[in-house]
């Protein structure tokens, strides 16, 4: 780290045939990827786009229509730089797995990381005293 407070960054090294993370969208964090070497594919919403060295891709916030995933479809290692803004509270949707992730990293409070099945919606007053 070089002292950034609201910027996240990472160099991902991805073997052939692998994805770094599940297909997902963010409600608060935007991400940008710079392909350093190798080739692959970007899943974005319902589309797929080829990726190669020196491509830059931005993935905005949104719902399933902005879900994204980078897959190494090549025969050699793929390397890419990920950049994003950092938010204290984030909600992610995972369309393939039918999950919702809730993440909170607020200074002075315990870190929260919870994954839920999207179909387990409950009433606002479920288990509450009325």
Taking only the tens place, the pLDDT of each residue in 61-118 is: 999 999 999 999 999 999 999 999 999 999 999 999 999 999 999 999 999 999 999 8
Q: At 122, is the pLDDT very low, low, confident or very high (cuts 50, 70, 90)?
A: confident
User: In the prediction, which pLDDT does 86 show?
Assistant: 92
Residue ranges of the domains in the chain?
8-85
Fold classification of 8-85 (topology level): Jelly Rolls (2.60.120)
Strands (DSSP E) found in 53-111: 56-59, 68-71, 78-85, 89-94, 99-104
CA angle 40, 44, 50 (to 5 degrees): 25
pTM of the model: 0.89
Sequence length of the chain is 130
């Amino acid at each position: 780290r070089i002292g950034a407070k609201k910027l996240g960054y990472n160099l991902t090294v991805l073997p052939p045939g692998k994805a770094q993370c599940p297909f997902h969208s963010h409600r608060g964090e935007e991400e940008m990827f710079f392909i350093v070497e190798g080739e692959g594919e970007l899943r974005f919403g319902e589309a797929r786009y080829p990726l190669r060295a020196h491509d830059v891709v931005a993935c905005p916030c949104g719902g399933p229509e902005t879900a994204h995933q980078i897959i190494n479809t090549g025969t050699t290692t793929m390397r890419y730089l990920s950049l994003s803004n950092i938010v204290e509270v984030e909600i992610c949707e995972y369309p393939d797995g039918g999950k919702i992730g809730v993440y909170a990293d607020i200074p002075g409070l315990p870190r929260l990381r919870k994954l839920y099945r999207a179909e387990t919606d409950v009433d606002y007053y479920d288990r509450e005293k009325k």
